Structure 1
Amino acid sequence: MSHFSIKNGALCAEDHPLTHIATEFGTPTYVYSKAAISRNYLSYANACLENGRTSQTALVCYSVKSNSNLAVLHLLSQLGSGFDIVSSGELLRVIAAGGDPKKVIFSGVGKTGDEMRLALSHGIACFNVESISELHRLSEVASEMNATASISLRVNPNVDAKTHPYISTGLKENKFGVAIEDALDIYRIAANLPGISIVGIDCHIGSQLLDDAPLLESLDKLIELIDVLAVEGIVIHHLDIGGGIGIDYEAEVPVTVSDYLNRLFRKIDAWRAEKYQGAPIKVLFEPGRSIVGNAGVLLTRVEYLKPGSEKNFAIVDAAMNDLMRPAMYQAWHGVEPVVLRDGEETIWDIVGPVCESGDWLARARALCIEEGDLLAIRSAGAYGMTMSSNYNTRGRAAEVMVDGNESHLVRQRETPEQLFALEKILP
């Protein structure tokens, strides 16, 4: 990960040794690079500019679920980002971080009436509607409020993203969106519902895509549908192609953002020139992992080394409640000692103290380590802290943002007292 590099025998974050961060803030701790997050976001924003797009014709809506720390959201807001949310809690986080609700799109299959009311009261840009039932409820809520809900229909194009089944979202077997063959009828219904204004079309087929071919295939299907809608007199003002570009976890080579966006915009421009006399259509993106994933590490300390006849276990103070991805997805994260040792490497399973056999962070890693050593678990900036829990009454990790040579605590570690502060004993 480019902003965390080996220097003078230590894994450093912007020249600030992680050993100093562990001493000051303890472990386990998530450590993020402000410079890396900024650079990754700007890869999208700059590619839009290079293809002649302004803020009026392209908008990057960061996927809040990937990392929702207020410092991360505030940084991205300052850079001009919009936001893709999936709950009212995420909306309130965006607002608390200084984000503009008028640049928020609301995705998710289970929006409640209360969540709709909150979003409408803050004037969000668009609801990505995912079912006919949701469309009717949104119409009812908006009408009750004397408001108008701007909507896109999230269309499921039945395109295989060729990724892990748990993070594939664009097939008929997935719960997300509406089948593309049903979309025209649902748009017809939406066009006649009170409190509803059709503004766009949306698609998100999955996450951790290394090739942009499935994304461009999905774009082709959306373009065909937009043309059909135009014949019906239903005008689509924005096209939301979703997110999904992957990152390097274990020597993967994902498509570069600039190459992908260049191909996408060329396709869109050719279509608009042929069918609409070049009239522009606003393009939205929903990246998350590709912005924050490789901008963070999880810093953890080796508590015990437990050699065995079948396996050797390095027991660390981080656990599956801190980083769920390995247990949930069998995900691979690179692991490195913060301080390199001279000596023979041993094959270790990196495991935590949670009372589950599934509590592992990495398997079969060749490391030269001793008890008390610090380890950095790489590529942990996305779906790390946001998926963490308090299982075994474990407080969630601290979060630190590195800015140049300075490290800032952006979320303090939870205490046991905070975890049960909302609970009561029966009288």
Structure 2
Amino acid sequence: MSEQLLKIASKFGSPLYVYDSETIINQYNRLTKAFSKVKNLKVNYAVKALSNISILKLFKSLGSGLDTVSIQEVQLGLKAGFNPEDIIYTPNGVSLEEIENVAKLGVQINIDNLSILEQFGTKHPNIPVCIRINPHVMAGGNTNISVGHIDSKFGISIHQIPLLLRIVENTKMNINGIHMHTGSDILDIDVFLYASEILFETAKQFKNLEFIDFGSGFKVPYKEGDIETNIEELGKKLTHRFNEFCKTYGKELTLAFEPGKFLVSQSGVFLAKVNVVKQTTSTVFAQIDSGFNHLIRPMLYGSQHEIINITNPSGRERFYSIVGYICETDTFANNRRINEIKEGDILCFKNAGAYCFTMASNYNSRYRPAEVLIHNGKPNLIRKRETFEDILQNQVEISI
């Protein structure tokens, strides 16, 4: 794999994101297999994880739907060929106007606050709406990605169910789905199942549901020996409980998930070239041709991406701090054991498929990197590297 990645870096330059379609397909099949005993299963890929249109087209070929959080992601999905009914739109804190504009496109609306719910239901009682519930369950690997707790800005509190039901009754609106998302990097299946029971109890309050959406947040391994969500065990336990609920409810519902990281994280790597190896009194820095403008997760979430020197994969291991070229603290790894690094070497950051390129920026007026998809063994450029013209494209010069 190292030799292929070096060839790709030589051809397309660095820094560079590279994704492998086979890994994505395997993860998708693993999830659907785990829930194969559910009669109606719907996997909606979370576009925010990796939104390149070629990736979306790959998911469409697998039979996936889409989970979107903005009208722009909805438009990307439609552009990629998805049918409106295969897209769910779950925004947070957006205007009523945006929700109405998305509704006109025919996608499934998911509302997470009482104010907008009442306004939308009053004006559009016949448009089917899903409701996002906050189960008040703390889950997730970082406070920034734990979204089901009591002080979260996401979802309608389970303690507000009586008020929610009054709004639904007064507006006569059509509630066709119930949804939750407790957080990302969930390890404890029992926590997920506990939150699911809260969702089942809430679902009993609505008589015309078509689906129950359990969100996602499944953890993937980020380093050798790292633990991950046991999807197979979750599939077995939740399938049994879901099928049991459907019998009690009186109709076959659709079980929906909206995975992002689980499907694409392990498919991606980030390649960067070492510009400088710098020795200080106590630290050896390897400074690369990138920064948190391209890969912000280590600085934002404290996430640990495994880093390999693919130019010298069998070299003697030494301790390095990997840092970027941004003009402030810009650290990818501290005191990490890596095969000996020389200037010009290519470093490979693993698990760079999710929330990496999509969170990239032009900070310091740097260009965002290119993206490549390996499909059927062949590397394909799926996003060009930016140029200086891209930096200036939407700027307007005035006479001064």
Q: Which bracket does the TM-score occupy, shorter chain normalised? A: over 0.9
Contact 1:210–1:247 (8 Å) recurs in 2 = no
Native 8 Å contact 2:96 2:116 kept in 1: no
246-255 or 402-411: bigger deviation: 246-255
Equivalence map 1:194-273=2 (5 Å): 196-227=173-204, 229-230=205-206, 234-250=207-223, 251-273=225-247
> Partner residue of 1:137?
119
CA deviation after TM superposition for structure 1 residue 197, in Å: 1.6
Write the letter of the residue equivalent to 2:37. N
User: Residue 177 of structure 1 aligns with which residue?
Assistant: 155
Alpha-carbon separation, structure 2, partners of 1:305 and 1:408: 32
1:286 aligned partner = 258
CA contact (8 A) 2:290 2:325 kept: yes
1:363 aligns with 2:324: no
Counterpart in the other structure of 1:107: 90
Give the share of equivalent positions with the same residue, in percent: 31
Distance 2:68 2:357 in 1: 16
AA at the equivalent of 2:242? I
With over 3 angstroms needed to count, the CA separation of the structure-2 counterparts of 1:141 and 1:393, relative to structure 1, is farther
Q: Deviations over 1:382-419 (max 9, x none)?
A: 00001111100111110000013310000011112211
Deviations 1:17-57 (A, max 9, x none): 11111111100110000101111112222333x2142xxx2
Give the counterpart letter for 1:213 in structure 2: D
Q: Specify whether residues 121 and 343 from structure 1 end up closer, same or farther in structure 2 by C-alpha distance, changes over 3 A only.
A: closer
Give the stretch that moved more between structures: 109-118 or 410-419. Answer: 109-118
For residue 188 of structure 1, report the CA deviation from its aligned partner.
2.9
Instruction: Give the counterpart of 1:324 among 296, 320, 339.
Output: 296
Kept in 2, the 8 Å contact 1:341–1:369? The answer is: no
Alignment of 1:30-41 (within 5 A): 30-41=17-28
Which residue identity is paired with 1:360?
Answer: T
Give the aligned length: 397
- Residue 97 of structure 1 deviates from its aligned partner by 1.3
Q: Provide the rounded CA distance (Å) in 2 between the counterparts of 1:80 and 1:294.
A: 20
Letter of the structure 1 residue corresponding to residue 361 of structure 2: S
Q: Could you say if the C-alpha distance between residues 255 and 31 of structure 1 is closer, same or farther in structure 2, counting changes exceeding 3 Å?
A: same
**Structure 2: gaps (5+ residues):** none
Alignment pair present for 1:92 and 2:64: no
Matches of 1:187 and 1:139, distance apart in 2: 12
Distance 1:413 1:140, change over 3 A: farther
CA distance in 2, matches of 1:84, 1:244: 13
Q: Is the 8 A contact 2:38 2:255 kept in 1?
A: no
1:410 partner SS: strand
Per-residue Cα deviation, 1:179-237 (whole angstroms, up to 9, x for no partner) = 1111242133124326x32101110000011222211111111111222x15xxx4322
Residue 286 of structure 1: how far off its partner (Å): 0.7
C-alpha distance after superposition, 1:86-145 (max 9, x if no partner): 001111111111122211111121222342233122100x222111112133236647xx
1:313 and 2:288 are equivalent in the alignment: no
Give the aligned residue type for 1:211: D
Counterpart CA distance in 2 for 1:419 and 1:363 is 32
Pair 1:383-2:355 in alignment: yes
- Post-superposition offset of 1:356: 1.1
Deviation, structure 1 residue 171: 0.4
Deviations 1:247-275 (A, max 9, x none): 001232212323212211101122333x2
- Asked if the contact 1:153–1:183 (Cα under 8 Å) also holds between the matched residues in 2, the reply is no
Quote the Cα distance in structure 1 between the aligned partners of 2:85 and 2:315: 56
Shift in Å, 1:378:
0.4
Q: Which deviates the most, 295-304 or 258-267?
A: 258-267
Q: Secondary structure at the match of 2:128?
A: strand
Q: Equivalent residues in 2 for 1:34-53 (5 A)?
A: 34-48=21-35, 50-53=36-39
Matches within 5 A, 1:152-163: 152-163=130-141
SS at match of 1:208: coil
The structural deviation recorded for 1:342 is 5.2
- Deviation track 1:127-180 (CA, whole Å, cap 9, x = no partner) reads 22111112133236647xxxx432111111111215211100000111100111
* Counterpart AA for 1:64: V
Alpha-carbon distance between aligned partners in 2 of 1:287 and 1:342, rounded to the nearest angstrom: 35
Which residue matches 1:8? none
SS of 2:337's partner is strand
| Secondary structure of residue in 2 paired with 1:423 | coil
Output the CA distance in 2 between the equivalents of 1:120 and 1:343.
57
Q: What code does the residue aligned with 1:239 have?
A: I
**1:68 and 2:51 matched:** yes
Superposition misfits of 4+ residues, deviation over 3 angstroms: 139-143, 341-344
> Are 2:110 and 1:128 aligned?
yes
C-alpha separation in 2, matches of 1:51 and 1:219: 18
- The answer on whether the counterparts of 1:111 and 1:134 sit within 8 Å (CA) in structure 2 is no
Cα distance in structure 2, aligned partners of 1:343 and 1:44: 37
2:249 corresponds in structure 1 to: 276
CA contact (8 A) 1:66 1:382 kept: yes
TM-score by length of 2: 0.95
Partner of 2:143: 165
